[in-house]
Structure formats: C-alpha cells, structure tokens
Amino acid sequence: MDRRTLLTTLAAGATAAAAPWARAQGYPEQLIRWIVPYPAGGGTDVIARTLAEAMRQTLGQQIIIDNRPGASTNIGADLVAKSKPDGYTIMSADNALLAFNEYLYSKLPFNPAKDFSYIGAIGKFPLALVVNPAFPAQDFKSFLAYVKANPGKVNYASPGNGSPHHLAMELFKNHTGTFITHIPYRGAAPAMADVMGGQVPCMFLDLASGLSIMQSKKVRVLAIGSGARSKLLPDVPTLAEVGVPHTEVFAFQGILGPAGLSPAVVNRLNADLNRAFGAPAVQKHFNDFGMEAMPGSPEQFAALSRAESQRWGPIIKAANIKLD
C-alpha cells in the first residue's frame, strides 16, 4: 500500500469512527418517541409522561408518548427492537420484557439480552403480601401456619398469569413449602377489589397500585418484599424479618432503545434521565407510587436486568407457567 492510499484509508477510518460522536453532538435534532407498552393512564404511563417532561427541559426537544399495549409488552418491544438505532425511539421496559417473557413464551421475535440498548433504570417498587381484614390470620406467622394447615384450600389473586405479583407468590411458595391456588385476573384493579371484598383472601400487591388501600386498612399488610422496611409502611416487616430470607420481590422499570445506539446517545439519555429524578413532579409521583428511583449507568441497568432474568427463570420453569 503506497503512502497516499494509506493516508486515505486512515482518514476514512477516522471519519467512520467519529460519525456516531458527530451525530450525538447535535442530538437530539427532532422529537423523540417514547413507547409505553401499556394503556394510557396507568402507573407506567404516568411515570413515563412525568419523566419525559422533565427530560424535555434538559434535552431541549419534545418527547411524545406512544402507547402500544398488548402481549405482555411484546408488541411495543418488537416495534422498538426493529426501529432505527438513531436515539429517536425509546421505550419503558419492566420485569415482563427484561426478566420474564423469555421464559413465559416459547418464542419471541426479539432477544431481550441482544436486541436492545440499555439506557438506564427508572426505579423499583416492592410487592407486599396482603390479606382481607376478615381473614383469620392477624400476622405473617399465623398466615403461614394457616396455609400450611390448609394446603390447596387458600386462593390468591394476581393481575394475571406471568405478572410480578403471580411470580412473587410462586417464589414465596417455593421458599416456604406452601400450596396456595392461583386465581388470575385481568389487571390489578379487579384483583384488589376481590381481595378487599373477601372473594379471594390474599395476594402480593405492588405499592404503586395498592398503597392507598394498604394505608387505609382496607387490606391487612403482613410483610413487604423489600430489602428494608418501606418509609411509607414503616410498621410492616420485611419477608426476611419474618423468617423468609432471599425473597425480595419487586417490580422495576427502565428505558431501552434498539440495539446499536451510539454510546454517546445512550450516555446523553442516561444523564438526562438521572437528572430528571431531581424534578419535583417526578419526586412527587415516585413518592405517591412508593417507587424508589434507581439512578445509575446503562451497564448497571443491564446487569440488574440479566440478574433478574437468571433469578426468575428457574421459578417460572418449576411452576410450568406459559403464556402461549
């Protein structure tokens, strides 16, 4: 290779290497579409809209929310996985996409570990074991004794097959050697209504959906599946405190983009997300939902997602839970 050819080749390589950075320098140059794989008005939608407004102020560009519900978030996820990796299509992702669906479905049109760019975690909220106030058990110890004395005779509600609430109880059953029968509902609201009404005696309930009925004593909270007691429910012991260790159960959310996003774009979005946690409106909604913000790096979010996938895979397989 002569000197002129060598210089031309080196220049071309430098230009190619600098292209993503050059694009990121002007990013964002148009509005950003944020896919929410749930209907408008729910907790995930509210959190996304609140964060989008806070991030808009620092990104200097409009962020529009596009609700694409269905198939346990797979419809929205497939759209994002197949979108152009330019930073203008991102999505809210939770336990379903990040940890559960690869085991719940025999085949997915995408690979959660390979077909997305992990931008950052949003937050997590623990699930708590609740019972109808008329249920004979007054505390966790008596609840455990009752279900052990009545195997298969106690039912529990969940918002649906494969939900974090469903899998939380399966993990609990696995760790306590109990047999409680699953009654799936279509959403958290009808499941909560039947627990409050006494049609089904118990369930694992997330703070985002059920904090108000927990605080108003419409259900009795026996234990919470977090590493430490919640500031919002300080009198409720953790599962570890009542003798069930290694049973931390929580729902978590984060932001993904399609695979191949420029590192500079990922880092820009991550920085603006972390900055948004300080916005008063974001802090208010997080507090209202009992949600703990999870500022951190894209790498930390990816590691959490993969660790949760590895934790829940054996539980899903052992319970033989399938959604197709």
User: 13 pLDDT exceeds 50?
Assistant: no
∠ Cα 149 153 154 (to 5°):
90
Q: Which residues, other chains included, contact 24 with Cβ-Cβ below 8 Å and sequence gap of 6+?
A: 87, 262, 264, 265, 268
Classify 45 in phi/psi space as left (phi over 0), alpha (psi -120 to 50) or beta.
Answer: alpha
Q: Residue 302: what residue type?
A: A
Q: Are 82 and 68 in contact (CB under 8 A)?
A: no
Give Cα 79 distance to the centre of its chain.
Answer: 18
- Looking at residue 18, its pLDDT comes to 39
* Mean pLDDT value across the chain: 91
Question: If you write DSSP's letter for every residue of 263-303 in order, what string do you get?
Answer: HHHHHHHHHHHHHHTTSHHHHHHHHHHTPEE----HHHHHH
Confirm or reject CATH 3.40.190.10 for domain 126-224, answering yes or no. Answer: yes
How many other CB atoms sit within 10 Å of the CB of residue 145? 12
CATH code 3.40.190.150 region(s) in the chain: 3-123+252-319
Q: Which residues, other chains included, contact 82 with Cβ-Cβ below 8 Å and sequence gap of 6+?
A: 110, 258
The tens digit of pLDDT for each residue in 22-69 reads: 345 689 999 999 999 999 988 899 999 999 999 999 999 999 999 999
- Looking at residue 25, its pLDDT comes to 67
- The pTM is what? 0.86
- Looking at residue 12, its pLDDT comes to 45
Q: List alpha helices for the chain, DSSP H.
A: 3-25, 43-59, 74-81, 95, 101-104, 140-149, 164-176, 188-197, 207-215, 263-276, 280-289, 298-319
CATH code 3.40.190.10 region(s) in the chain: 126-224
Measured distance CA(226)–CA(165) in Å, rounded: 14
- Looking at residue 24, its pLDDT comes to 55
Fold adopted by 3-123+252-319: D-Maltodextrin-Binding Protein; domain 2 (3.40.190)
User: 2 pLDDT exceeds 90?
Assistant: no
Give me the phi and psi of 78, to 5 degrees please: -65, -40
Task: Decide: residue 105, CB within 10 A, 0-12 exposed, 13-18 middle, 19+ buried.
Answer: middle
Give the closest residue to 204 by CA, choosing from 180, 232, 231: 180
- Residue 129: beta bridge partners? 204, 223
The tens digit of pLDDT for each residue in 146-159 reads: 999 999 999 999 99
Predicted confidence band of residue 166 (pLDDT cuts 50, 70, 90):
very high
